[in-house]
């Protein structure tokens, strides 16, 4: 059995969701137009993932096998609504940027996957750490992807926050393709390939 | 005489056949390049050093990208097979002569990396690499690769308005004054080399004569354009331009003979080739008329590139089989 | 040109997979021309083409399989085996009995009771490029072949007998086709194009259409059937075309079993390192490790290719140009077959009708990427055969005619 620390750290490399598990791709492609968007999405996901993992792990003896998916969805949806309302209230610009992808966290396969494969079998502590690790890994990946796309496609970093940095000066003509949807696919594909070369 | 006593003479062993027709892949690539040479000369004589610059930068960056990527991927370096050179040349042909050098470099690098090598290198590309590169440029720097903007700096004896833009903006009446023969001879704005319609056609016919490409894709392409444009034209000739116009302007010739016929991204079966070509023609006109982007050729070819593996499933019946089952 | 009898001849007997094919001979034993050679259980393996004493028996692998080789020190005067006797009145025998007799004696004759051939085609086109033996065969064996056609017409029960010839052999064919005042066969002129001479293709090349199940036979093979029926042993000679490195061709009449080195010596051809020695023509011949192989009945040509003319076919990626599809006479997809074979997807090869590939070599001849397409296809076929065998534990089919080196098995 993996040590407690490993439950946490595996999410950063060994099971980093978009690259290793190839889960959560839909959101990863859609919200990584900039670093800040990616980061916001990651944080929202961490919150939902950790909370739902804890609750599901606590209730794992109670939930009947046959209706477990419905139960998980209800739990997950609850936290998603919380996240949605909070972002709407306090970080409205992020709420605008993420749009439909916040409600869609409900069906994000990472969360359901962790619930089904991990939280429903393991103790509360392990589940919480797993959620934190996987969520942090996901955030890391989104930040990286978002940064790459933002640098190439806009020539900036931290766009959408107060700390916008214009990396290449005003005469830079950004490679706008990278912030378009096909650019996201190309970027993600290349990163996946690089991970496969580096990994193992 | 038992094997141990036999005098082995280090003979060459191989499977049949023991002769080859003599063609090679690089031979085919260099034939493509030779077919493009007249248009290269045309381009340099019209746009001067600018055209030479675009072509040189493009070829150099395509070949350099190929070299670097093959080294990086630890593949045997095969830049002398002519494919990278051809890709560079084609990229230069469809860009206007005024493009900045970095744009060409980015386009070529993307073409070779994502268009070709990621798919497995020679023979693996599902899409035409250059068109893929061109699409990213179009997304990013549409103004730079706009043919009309590019042509403003030159003294030309014809209108710098891209005919397809004119058609889009002002309808068929605005282009009816154009002399098609003039357009056909290359007196239109367009890519550095691609606007030399007649010379491209001659190059294409040369390729067919040399047996490098089959006549099926280019001619069914032209037929597809003509047929689709005719349908629109017959329905409303005041609104839509006639088929001949659609054939002589806007990269149709280079698309039909040099892009749609790319070996790896076009079907290999004969019927499939005809359908593929016709489909390219059909979508070219549809894109031109129905979308707000008049440059339909490249998108049409890319679209058909997606379909070609499916089309290649249409294969002829095996004669022996028919005979036995009947 | 006739090649002299060599001092030592080699008799080649194909081994079957389960180790059969060992003749019951020992060194020093003397054999006579036309004598049967059997294994310990009495199964017929071959007919001796020469008279002499056995010197040595050993294994000799060839590109297409394992063989048992028997070295025979030949003696100058041929003595025919006394058991070698023809079949009386073979012409009047009942067809079924005659066919099974021929099969038992090692001839592969594709006539089945349930499915009679609807035409007999005498295939006088050459089997491969640069081969040119049929002029000599028709000139020398014309009478026997005419008798053979009559016989085939009778035992096949079909009225249609076609002699397919290239234009320059028309006169020979006409002579064979007419017996006195009676015409037994029609002559169909074909362009001497490859691969019309292959038995799978020739029915399609004829001007007469609608032939579904023809019996296709080459003149040399027909001759050997008749010689066997009349004399009790198949012919001991074989016509071959010797092709030197400049593609200059000499036709030769060779005693079966003559080592190729002997023929090269008589034909004044030297072979040196990195040259290629091909048993057969340019498109389908099998290359050989060395020159000590004997001439067998299935070799129509011997070709020496200069080291500079040797082409290298490899495994460069296919570029999907479609050239191979355009030339395949059976309209297969050679590029896909080779790709599937390369990545061990043999089942897919079967879906793409690999069984209908006749290994003509045209696809590899035109391939833009110079892929060894035929090699891949043959490999896949072998693997499929292996899988089929493992699958249903089929006993190795008793393919009559394969083991007999003396017979022109086509
Ligand atoms: S060898 Fe090639 S061309 Fe000939 S039948 Fe087979 S696949 Fe077709
Ligand atoms: S000829 Fe060669 S390269 Fe062309 S499709 Fe066939 S196998 Fe591929």
Query: Which of C129, C244, C319 would you mutate first to test chain B, the one with the most B CBs within 10 A?
Result: C319
The predicted pLDDT at position B4 comes to 67
**Helix, strand, coil percentages for chain B (3-state, nearest 5):** 65, 0, 35
Give this prediction's pTM. 0.89
Question: Which of chain A's residues have a Cβ under 8 Å away from the Cβ of B104?
Answer: none
Q: Give the confidence band of B160 by pLDDT, cuts at 50, 70, 90.
A: confident
Q: What is the pLDDT of residues C125-164, one digit of tens each?
A: 998 999 999 999 999 999 999 999 999 998 888 889 999 9
C287: which 2 tokens? 């290359």
Residue pair C160/C200 in contact (Cβ under 8 Å)? The answer is: no
Residues C358 and C382 in one domain: yes
In sequence order, the 6+-apart residues with CB closer than 8 A to the CB of A153 are A33, A174, A175, A176, A177, A178, A179, A180, A183
List chains touching B (3+ CB pairs under 8 A): A, C
Q: Give the confidence band of B191 by pLDDT, cuts at 50, 70, 90.
A: confident
**Domains of chain C: total:** 4
Ligand with minimal distance to B20 CA: 2
**Domains of chain B: total:** 1
The predicted pLDDT at position C277 comes to 93
Q: Which pairs with CB-CB distance under 8 Å and at least 24 residues apart come from A143-147?
A: A143/A35, A143/A38, A143/A39, A143/A42, A144/A191, A145/A18, A145/A28, A145/A32, A145/A38, A145/A184, A145/A187, A145/A188, A145/A191, A146/A31, A146/A32, A146/A33, A146/A34, A146/A35, A146/A36, A146/A37, A146/A38, A146/A39, A147/A35, A147/A38
pLDDT at C402 over 70: no
**Chain C residue closest to B322 (CA)?**
C212
Mutate to test the pocket of ligand 2, among C311, C316, C317, C323 (most ligand atoms within 8 A of CB): C323
The predicted pLDDT at position A18 comes to 82
Question: Which of chain C's residues have a Cβ under 8 Å away from the Cβ of B120?
Answer: 317
Q: Are C331 and B315 inside 8 Å of each other by CB?
A: yes
For ligand 1, what atom is nearest to the CA of residue C359?
1
Q: In the predicted model, what is the mean pLDDT of residues B84-101?
A: 94
Strands C237-243 and C301-305 come out as: parallel
Strand residues in chain A grouped as ranges (E):
156-157, 165-166
CB pairs under 8 A between B and C: 172
Q: Are C287 and B316 inside 8 Å of each other by CB?
A: no
Last residue of a domain, one of C231, C249, C271: C231
Q: Tell me how far apart the alpha carbons of residues C134 and C41 are, in angstroms, rounded to a whole number.
A: 38
* Cα pseudo-dihedral B101, B102, B105, B110, rounded to 10: -140
Q: Pocket around ligand 1: residues whose beta carbon is below 6 Å from it?
A: C 327-330, 332, 334, 357-363, 373-374, 377
Q: Give the confidence band of C188 by pLDDT, cuts at 50, 70, 90.
A: very high
Instruction: Give the minimum alpha-carbon distance from A179 to chain B in angstroms, rounded to a whole number.
Output: 9
Residue listed under structure tokens 């800040």: A36
Residues C276 and C355 in one domain: no
Picking from C279, C250, C342, C304, the residue whose alpha carbon sits closest to that of residue C67 is: C279
Does residue B6 lie within any of the structural domains?
A: no
**Ligand 1 centroid, distance to B261 Cα (angstroms):** 24
Does residue C79 lie within any of the structural domains?
A: no
The CA-atom distances, in angstroms, between B275 and each of B262, B267, B278 are: 15, 9, 5
Q: Are C319 and B8 inside 8 Å of each other by CB?
A: no
Picking from C272, C233, C264, C308, the residue whose alpha carbon sits closest to that of residue B10 is: C272
Q: Are B263 and C320 inside 8 Å of each other by CB?
A: yes
Question: Which of chain B's residues have a Cβ under 8 Å away from the Cβ of C288?
Answer: 11, 13
Residue pair C268/C278 in contact (Cβ under 8 Å)? The answer is: no
Strands C65-74 and C52-62 come out as: antiparallel
Q: Are B118 and A189 inside 8 Å of each other by CB?
A: yes
Omega cis (within 30) before B17: yes
Q: Using CA positions, which residue lies closest to atom 7 of ligand 1? A: C334
Question: Which of chain B's residues have a Cβ under 8 Å away from the Cβ of C310?
Answer: 12, 14, 18
Considering CB atoms only, which of B118, B139, B144 is closest to A177?
A: B139
Does residue C190 lie within any of the structural domains?
A: yes
Q: Pocket around ligand 2: residues whose beta carbon is below 6 Å from it?
A: B 268; C 318-324, 334-335, 366-369, 371, 373
Does residue C149 lie within any of the structural domains?
A: yes
- What is the torsional sign of CA C359, C362, C365, C366? negative
pLDDT at B321 over 60: yes
CATH number, position B304: 1.10.3430
C218: which 2 tokens? 């080459």
What is the percent of chain A with per-residue pLDDT over 90, rounded to a whole number?
36
Q: How many helices (H) and strands (E) does chain A have?
A: 8, 2
Does residue B77 lie within any of the structural domains?
A: yes
CATH number, position C123: 3.40.50.11540
Residues C385 and C318 in one domain: yes
The CA-atom distances, in angstroms, between B107 and each of A113, B87, B94, B140, B258 are: 40, 11, 11, 10, 18
Does residue C188 lie within any of the structural domains?
A: yes
Q: Which helix (H) or strand (E) is B56 found in, with range?
A: helix B49-72
Q: What is the pLDDT of residues C19-53, one digit of tens each?
A: 777 888 888 889 999 888 888 888 888 889 999 99
* Cα pseudo-dihedral B83, B84, B87, B89, rounded to 10: -110
Considering CB atoms only, which of B20, B120, B214 is closest to C311?
A: B20
Residues C206 and C109 in one domain: yes
The predicted pLDDT at position A22 comes to 82
Ligand with minimal distance to C360 CA: 1
Q: Are C321 and B268 inside 8 Å of each other by CB?
A: yes
Q: Tell me how far apart the alpha carbons of residues C305 and B72 are, in angstroms, rounded to a whole number.
A: 40
Question: Which of chain C's residues have a Cβ under 8 Å away from the Cβ of B25?
Answer: 316, 319, 368-370
Lowest-confidence segment of B13-17, B291-295, C123-127, C248-252 by average pLDDT: B291-295
Q: Are C322 and B269 inside 8 Å of each other by CB?
A: yes
Considering CB atoms only, which of B106, B114, B135 is closest to A175?
A: B106
DSSP characters over A53-109: HHHHHHTTTTS-GGGHHHHHHHHHHHHHHHHHHHHHHH-HHHHHHHGGGTGGGGG-H
Residue listed under structure tokens 């381009």: B43
Q: Tell me how far apart the alpha carbons of residues C390 and A95 are, in angstroms, rounded to a whole number.
A: 64
Residue pair C377/C354 in contact (Cβ under 8 Å)? The answer is: yes
**Ligand 1 centroid, distance to C89 Cα (angstroms):** 43
Q: Are C63 and B273 inside 8 Å of each other by CB?
A: no
Q: Using CA positions, which residue lies closest to atom 1 of ligand 1? A: C359
Q: Which residues partner with C186 through β-bridges?
A: C162
Q: Using CA positions, which residue lies closest to atom 5 of ligand 1? A: C357
Question: Which of chain B's residues have a Cβ under 8 Å away from the Cβ of A190?
Answer: 114, 118
pLDDT at B9 over 80: no
Ligand with minimal distance to C332 CA: 1
The predicted pLDDT at position B186 comes to 86
Does residue B8 lie within any of the structural domains?
A: no
Residues C104 and C212 in one domain: yes
List chains touching A (3+ CB pairs under 8 A): B
- Nearest-10 crossing angle of helices C373-392, C334-342: 60
The predicted pLDDT at position C155 comes to 87
Does residue C370 lie within any of the structural domains?
A: yes
What single DSSP character describes residue C23?
A: B
Ligand with minimal distance to C335 CA: 2
pLDDT at C316 over 70: yes
Distance of CA C404 to the CA centre of its chain: 12
Does residue B164 lie within any of the structural domains?
A: yes
Lowest-confidence segment of A14-18, A145-149, B68-72, B222-226 by average pLDDT: A14-18
Residues C325 and C402 in one domain: yes
Higher-confidence residue: B157 or A28? Answer: A28
Question: Residue B143 is part of which domain span?
Answer: 25-311
Question: Which of chain A's residues have a Cβ under 8 Å away from the Cβ of B75?
Answer: none
Does residue C146 lie within any of the structural domains?
A: yes
Q: Tell me the three state secondary structure of residue B121.
A: coil
Q: Which helix (H) or strand (E) is C279 found in, with range?
A: strand C276-279
State the number of CA atoms in the 13 A half-sphere of B234 facing the CB.
Answer: 6
- Nearest-10 crossing angle of helices C170-177, C134-156: 30
What single DSSP character describes residue B258?
A: I
Residue pair C62/C15 in contact (Cβ under 8 Å)? The answer is: no
Q: What is the pLDDT of residues B292-309, one digit of tens each?
A: 877 889 999 999 999 999
C-A interface (Cβ pairs under 8 Å ≥ 3): no
Q: Tell me how far apart the alpha carbons of residues B191 and B91 are, in angstroms, rounded to a whole number.
A: 9
The predicted pLDDT at position B3 comes to 64
Question: Residue C177 is part of which domain span?
Answer: 90-231
The predicted pLDDT at position C406 comes to 39
The predicted pLDDT at position B322 comes to 56
Q: Are B140 and A175 inside 8 Å of each other by CB?
A: yes
Residues C28 and C151 in one domain: no
Residues C60 and C44 in one domain: yes
Q: What is the pLDDT of residues C199-221, one digit of tens each?
A: 889 988 898 888 888 899 999 99
């Amino acid at each position: 059995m993996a040590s407690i620390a490993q439950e946490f750290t595996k999410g950063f490399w060994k099971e980093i969701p978009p690259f290793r598990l190839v889960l959560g791709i839909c959101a990863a492609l859609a919200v990584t137009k900039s670093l800040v968007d990616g980061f916001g999405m990651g944080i929202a996901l961490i919150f939902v993932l950790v909370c739902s993992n804890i609750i599901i792990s606590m209730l794992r003896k109670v939930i009947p096998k046959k209706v477990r998916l419905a139960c998980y969805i209800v739990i997950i949806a609850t936290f998603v609504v919380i996240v949605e309302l909070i972002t709407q209230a306090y970080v409205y610009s992020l709420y605008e940027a993420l749009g439909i992808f916040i409600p869609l966290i409900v069906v994000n396969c990472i969360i359901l996957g962790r619930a089904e494969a991990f939280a429903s079998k393991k103790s509360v502590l392990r589940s919480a750490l797993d959620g934190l690790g996987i969520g942090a890994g996901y955030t890391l990946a989104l930040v990286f992807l978002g940064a790459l796309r933002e640098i190439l496609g806009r020539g900036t970093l931290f766009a959408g926050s107060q700390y916008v940095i214009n990396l290449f000066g005003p005469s830079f003509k950004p490679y706008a393709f990278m912030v378009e949807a096909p650019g996201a696919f190309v970027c993600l594909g290349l990163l996946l390939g690089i991970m496969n070369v580096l990994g193992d | 005489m038992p094997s141990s006593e036999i005098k082995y003479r280090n003979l060459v062993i191989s499977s049949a056949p023991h002769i080859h027709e003599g063609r090679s892949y690089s031979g085919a690539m260099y034939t493509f390049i030779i077919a493009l040479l007249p248009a290269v000369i045309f381009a340099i004589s019209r746009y001067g050093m600018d055209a030479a610059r675009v072509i040189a930068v493009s070829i150099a960056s395509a070949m350099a990208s190929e070299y670097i990527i093959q080294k990086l991927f630890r593949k045997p370096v095969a830049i002398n097979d002519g494919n990278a050179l051809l890709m560079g040349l084609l990229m230069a042909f469809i860009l206007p002569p005024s493009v900045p050098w970095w744009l060409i470099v980015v386009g070529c690098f993307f073409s070779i990396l994502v268009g070709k090598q990621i798919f497995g290198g020679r023979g693996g590309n599902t899409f035409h690499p250059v068109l893929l590169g061109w699409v990213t440029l179009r997304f990013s720097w549409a103004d730079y690769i706009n043919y009309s903007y590019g042509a403003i700096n030159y003294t030309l004896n014809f209108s710098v308005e891209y005919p397809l833009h004119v058609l889009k903006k002002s309808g068929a009446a605005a282009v009816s004054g154009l002399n098609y023969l003039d357009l056909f001879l290359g007196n239109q704005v367009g890519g550095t080399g691609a606007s030399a319609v007649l010379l491209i056609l001659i190059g294409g016919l040369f390729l067919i004569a040399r047996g490098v490409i089959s006549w099926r894709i280019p001619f069914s392409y032209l037929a597809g354009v003509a047929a689709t444009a005719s349908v629109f034209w017959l329905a409303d000739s005041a609104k839509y331009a006639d088929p001949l116009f659609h054939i002589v302007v806007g990269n149709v010739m280079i698309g039909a003979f040099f892009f749609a016929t790319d070996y790896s991204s076009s079907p290999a079966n004969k019927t499939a080739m005809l359908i593929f070509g016709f489909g390219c023609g059909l979508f070219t006109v549809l894109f031109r008329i129905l979308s707000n982007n008049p440059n339909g050729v490249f998108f049409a070819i890319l679209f058909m590139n997606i379909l070609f593996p499916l089309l290649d499933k249409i294969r002829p019946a095996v004669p022996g089989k028919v005979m036995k089952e009947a | 040109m006739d090649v002299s009898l060599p001092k030592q001849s080699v008799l080649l007997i194909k081994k079957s997979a389960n180790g059969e094919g060992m003749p019951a001979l020992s060194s020093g034993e003397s054999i006579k021309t036309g004598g049967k050679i059997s294994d310990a259980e009495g199964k017929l393996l071959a007919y001796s083409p020469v008279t002499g004493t056995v010197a040595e028996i050993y294994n000799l692998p060839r590109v297409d399989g394992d063989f048992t080789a028997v070295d025979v020190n030949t003696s100058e005067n041929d003595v025919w085996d006394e058991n070698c006797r023809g079949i009386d009145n073979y012409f009047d025998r009942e067809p079924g009995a005659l066919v099974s007799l021929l099969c038992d004696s090692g001839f592969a004759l594709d006539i089945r009771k349930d499915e009679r051939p609807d035409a007999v085609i005498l295939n006088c086109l050459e089997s491969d490029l640069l081969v040119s033996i049929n002029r000599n065969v028709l000139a020398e064996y014309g009478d026997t072949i005419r008798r053979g056609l009559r016989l085939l017409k009778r035992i096949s029960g079909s009225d249609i007998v076609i002699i397919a010839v290239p234009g320059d052999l028309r006169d020979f064919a006409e002579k064979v086709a007419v017996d006195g005042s009676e015409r037994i066969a029609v002559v169909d002129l074909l362009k001497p194009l490859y691969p019309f001479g292959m038995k799978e293709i020739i029915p399609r090349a004829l001007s007469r259409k609608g032939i579904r199940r023809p019996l296709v036979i080459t003149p040399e093979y027909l001759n050997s059937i008749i010689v066997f029926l009349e004399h009790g042993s198949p012919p001991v000679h074989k016509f071959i075309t010797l092709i030197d490195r400049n593609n200059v061709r000499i036709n030769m009449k060779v005693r079966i079993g003559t080592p190729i080195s002997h023929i090269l010596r008589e034909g004044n051809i030297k072979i040196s390192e990195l040259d290629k020695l091909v048993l057969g023509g340019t498109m389908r011949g099998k290359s050989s490790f060395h020159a000590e192989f004997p001439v067998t009945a299935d070799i129509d040509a011997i070709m020496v290719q200069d080291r500079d003319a040797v082409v290298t076919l490899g495994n460069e990626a296919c570029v999907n140009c479609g050239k191979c599809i355009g030339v395949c006479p059976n309209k297969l997809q050679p590029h896909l077959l080779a790709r599937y074979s390369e990545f061990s997807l043999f089942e897919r090869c079967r879906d793409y009708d690999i069984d209908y590939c006749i290994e003509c070599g045209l696809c590899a001849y035109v391939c833009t990427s110079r892929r060894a397409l035929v090699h891949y296809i043959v490999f896949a076929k072998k693997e499929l055969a292996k899988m089929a065998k493992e699958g249903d534990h089929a006993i190795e089919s008793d393919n009559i005619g394969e083991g007999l080196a003396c017979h022109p098995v086509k």
